[in-house]
Structure 1
């Protein structure tokens, strides 16, 4: 039987701390959250490995190193309102809930929304809620958000999500460039101005629905 508590400690020590994740809040949250409960039972033995874990058809939970570095890049404050896009089974939502004041997750898969809600209740993430809906559309009636997280790769970020950022708000995700995903922090300035900076590279799987729309050819 896998000792998940020991696996969590090993994950933080060998994948998170050594990769310049210096925010102790993130280290502590990842050391405490039972990652194995947020993946299918058949995948629990792989929950703490240094690779993505499949959580459903075409859906993956980011590897610990990439997720920790992405969340750290978002610079989440304890007073922030955060939106977790395509939240899947809720692990990222639960992690964000340890850092922010309130977290809203959204996913198009009703079964995953139900499982995420159950797990968030189990880990007592009382400041987080998961809604069923179109991740590309976000949750405009709940914003504006201080931080928006898309924990996977995208070809492009929908304008609707930028529109839901508060002034000074940050959106973090991996923008795909060929096989490589560039972890990027988008920051909203005055009006609709959006600045961006690349913080590191990774190879996460594309989030379904965030493929670049093909141009119509006559």
Structure 2
């Protein structure tokens, strides 16, 4: 019998919200002349290299909104959209604030909240996560972000910071994520881990391998299945 976590901390992009589908839908509508799938994938592909510049010290602490904008300005040139003005660029950059939740997310989180404290643990900044939660109806008890800890996952300060925030032992916290590398880093800090299958995170053209990793505490098809497993 697995111990029961007091706190569930959630990765957001890909785990709770569908970043790829949301970006493809909006970009297709606004800029039908470009390949929205390639645009979405390229924007996300710039995410880790941009954070690496912060981790290495090349950039000082920089919020994800600003990193997304650095990537976006390069993409607009690449995709022939460099004619867009500043207001249009700002609006497009804030697409990350408008991501749609996966169909199970709100109901699953609501059930999980009935027995656990639920919070975000995302590299997204606080304003982004708050706008997203308000729009999508995500019922967080608390919004925590890399911005709070001035460190991007997988820095241990993020995972241990959740425990410290709630005066909890790391073993009382479970990270819920659709990414095995995130979960492995959380386990190394003493957290429990739950893997959520999101086979279409990168779109139907690039299905993900969602095979179970026995190192995880739990493995769930979606957040409703996780709620079933935790008795919520």
TM-score by length of 1: 0.36
Larger Rg, first or second structure (1 or 2): 2
Q: Which has the higher strand share?
A: 1
